[in-house]
Amino acid sequence: MKEVSQRQFIVFIAIFLLWIKTIYIGLTEFQISLENLNQLVILLLNPLPILMVGMIWVSTRKYSKQVAYLLLFMTVISLILYANIIYYRAFTDFITLSLFALRTHASELISSIITIIKWSDLTYFIDIIVITILLYATDNSSKQLELKFKLSFIQPFVTLLILITVIHLCLAHIERPQLLVRSFDRELLVKNIGIYNFHIYDTILHTNARAHRMFASEDEFIEIKNSISKEHKIADNDLHGIAEGKNIIVVAAESLQNFVINQTVNNEEITPFLNELIDESFYFNEFYHQTAQGKSSDAEFIVNNSLFPPSRGAVFFSHPNNEYDALPEILNTYGYYTSSLHANNGSFWNRDIMYNQLGYQRFYTQLDYQVTPDNSIGWGLKDIDFMKQSVDHLLEMPQPFYANLISLTNHFPFELGEEDMYIDRYDSNSRTLNKYFPTVRYMDESIKILFEELKNTKLYEESIIIIYGDHDGISSNHNRAMSTYLNKKVTAFTELELQKVPLIIHIPGIEGETITTVSGQVDFRPTLLHLLGIDLTDQIIFGDNLFSEEHEAFVFRRDGSFVSDELVYTGNTCYLKKSGEPTDFYLCEPYIERVNKNLDYSDMIIYGDLFRFNN
């Protein structure tokens, strides 16, 4: 009996250590905030159901196998936690099952991961070492009392497990009603159901999403079409069709956030060329990125389709064979030659497959560029060389063309040689933010060189050039350093404001202006088609023409947050937009319902492949 008691006691210690570790990581690495006693109780209960199931599973194995099973369970749990730690440090998000489809470019993420790993992370695995020593310090040869131990242990433990689970779910429901229908808000899910239950829930969602296509019907397509299709009226201005027949050059500016525009670091301009360019362009300074886990690929998906990507994984991997009514495909029918240019592996983000579905006629990859050790760094070809060589490709294209140029240098972890630094690094406690400013400045210089190269040809006068930021580069993990730079505390409200990215539309010969209307990446496609004079009637899109006087100043993001001309909703709090102060939640409720409905519609379109029913 003594040996069984020792073994039982060690299993209890193991589960206790995992429980403490999970709570500690939640508070420190996942930055879970506690606002009331209920949230504290939820935090304490979150890990227990899965850990208790693990304890039952280990304790009911053959006595001689329990050591191996316990160490296996602890290792799996620890790896789940640590994988989420690494991902959260990079993206302020949690791993989903859909992300495993991204394994094809995992090798290209190694340089990013190395910068995130810390030597202190080894402490997250000390509990496994401690339990291993304890287990092998005891005699594990007896199994005479194994059956008796199981019977006396399991029944009350299962009862306790059920009781804790019920209490946990009730408290979570009280804290956040309809929690499980907000699958796009992973921060809220992990906070209320825990990281382990979140992964179980995500697996269920992933399975249901896979099954959705099988049961999708044309009726769903018609319902959504009738609900969101609207009459896209031609704006009462001189811009409709002003770019008809012109080449379209789009620059997807990697990780370019709007807070650097017209700002300085170390008393030097961060984006001197873009600052000049916006004075003679249409500049949208309230333009938000709306990406999710797919980051750059999500941005491409949004601007080309005016749809929202799924909240989990990357649509470029999860649904590359769907039917789409994408911008390149539309432009093909109007006589444009459509291409995308990116000096990286063609399979990165599964672009070589997805681009076929979007309708691109040509994809220029690293095989089409001269890439050497001298002109590349970090993720590949430096932006200045990329812009120069891309102009050579543009000159060879049939006109008019639509060319999508994807920059690369301003990509996490923001590596740049001293010889390419136009400004010094920032000085803060965040190496990431410190390195971000020089790579932004380098990208700004590359765009300047793109314009200079275009002006040396006839392409400049015959084209419109559009620059947009694809997603954020500085996550909330660097709020302390951002507070220092911005000289103000970074709150949840500020974090959402930092999701603004530039949208610059430059039409040679046309005087521009700064447009302050709230907008997002879903508005890119209808705005461009308006400039090209292409009919927008009856399109199933979530965006609208930004030059229209009837454009509603309202944008919502994949996580359910939104911004209107008066209100901001994020982190389960409603704010006044002008002051940033919290206000009555009921003011945001009508918008929240609308946001959830439209995000559900977008998911139905993608998961059900509903455009196959489009006649």
Where residue 298 falls among pLDDT bands split at 50, 70, 90?
very high
Poorest-pLDDT segment among 141-145, 160-164, 396-400, 550-554: 141-145
Residue of higher predicted confidence among 209 and 33: 33
Tens digits of per-residue pLDDT, 310-350?
A: 887 788 878 888 999 999 999 999 999 999 999 988 878 87
Higher-confidence position of 204 and 198 = 198
Give the per-residue pLDDT at 170: 86
168: pLDDT strictly greater than 60: yes
pLDDT by residue (tens digit) across 531-541? Answer: 999 876 667 78
User: Which of 68, 67, 21, 28 has the alpha carbon at shortest distance from 46?
Assistant: 21
CA-to-CA dists, residue 139 to 1, 129, 146, angstroms: 12, 18, 14
Asked if residue 545 lies in contact with residue 527, where contact means CB atoms within 8 angstroms, the answer is yes
**Backbone φ, ψ for residue 545 (5° rounding):** -70, 120
The per-residue pLDDT for 420 is 93
Cα 36 from Cα 324, distance rounded (Å): 46
Q: 376-417, pLDDT tens digit by residue?
A: 887 789 999 999 999 999 999 999 999 999 999 999 889 999
pLDDT in tens, 420-463: 999 999 999 999 999 999 999 999 999 999 999 999 999 999 99
The number of residues in the chain equals 615
Pick the more confident residue, 209 or 549: 549
Model confidence at 144: pLDDT above 50: no
Tokens, residue 428: 């803060």
pLDDT tens column, 246-287: 999 999 999 999 999 999 999 999 999 999 999 999 999 999
pLDDT of residue 377: 87
pLDDT at 232: 47
> For residue 85, what pLDDT is reported?
92
Taking the model in full, what pTM does it have? 0.77
DSSP secondary structure of 528-557: HHHHHT---TT---S---TTSTT--SEEE-
Buried b (16+ CB within 10 A) or exposed e, 332-367: beeebbbbbbbbbbbebbbbeebbebbbbbebbbbe
- Report pLDDT digits (tens) over 93-134: 788 776 665 554 555 555 566 677 888 899 999 999 999 988
169: confidence class by pLDDT, cuts 50, 70, 90: confident
Residue 442 amino acid letter: Y
Query: 189 versus 416: which is more confidently predicted?
Result: 416
Mean pLDDT of 74-103: 81
Residue 72 pLDDT exceeds 70: yes
pLDDT of residue 68: 87
* For range 4-21, the mean pLDDT: 82
Task: Using the structure block, give the residue that is written with the tokens 């690495």.
Answer: 29
Per-residue confidence (pLDDT) for residue 109, from 0 to 100: 55
Query: Per CATH, which fold does 235-552 belong to?
Result: Alkaline Phosphatase, subunit A (3.40.720)
Q: What is the pLDDT of residue 143?
A: 45
- Enumerate the β-bridge partners of residue 503: 284, 468
Are the C-beta atoms of 77 and 18 separated by less than 8 Å?
A: yes
Mean pLDDT of the chain: 87
Backbone angles phi, psi at 350, to 5 degrees: 60, 25
- Looking at the DSSP bridge assignments, the partners of residue 467 are 251, 504
- Cα-trace Rg, the chain: 27
Contacts of 49 (CB under 8 A, 6+ apart): 161, 164, 165, 168, 194, 196, 197
Percentage, residues of the chain above pLDDT 90 = 58
> CB-based contacts of 33: which residues, under 8 Å, 6+ apart?
none
How much of the chain exceeds pLDDT 70, in percent?
89
Q: Who wins on pLDDT, 440 or 92?
A: 440
Q: Is the dihedral of CA 520, 523, 525, 531 positive or negative?
A: negative
The whole-number pLDDT of residue 297 equals 92
| Residue showing tokens 């308006």 | 530
Give the lowest-confidence range in 96-110, 136-150, 562-576.
136-150
Q: Give the pLDDT band (50/70/90) at residue 229.
A: low
| Every domain of the chain and the residues it spans | 2-209, 235-552
What is the Cα–Cα distance from 33 to 190, expressed in whole angstroms?
12
The pLDDT assigned to 387 comes to 97
Number of CB atoms found within 10 A of residue 170's CB: 10
State residue 457's pLDDT score.
Answer: 95
Q: Cβ of 503: how many Cβ atoms within 10 Å? A: 29
How confident is the model over 476-525, as pLDDT tens digits? 889 999 999 999 999 999 999 999 999 999 999 999 999 999 999 999 99
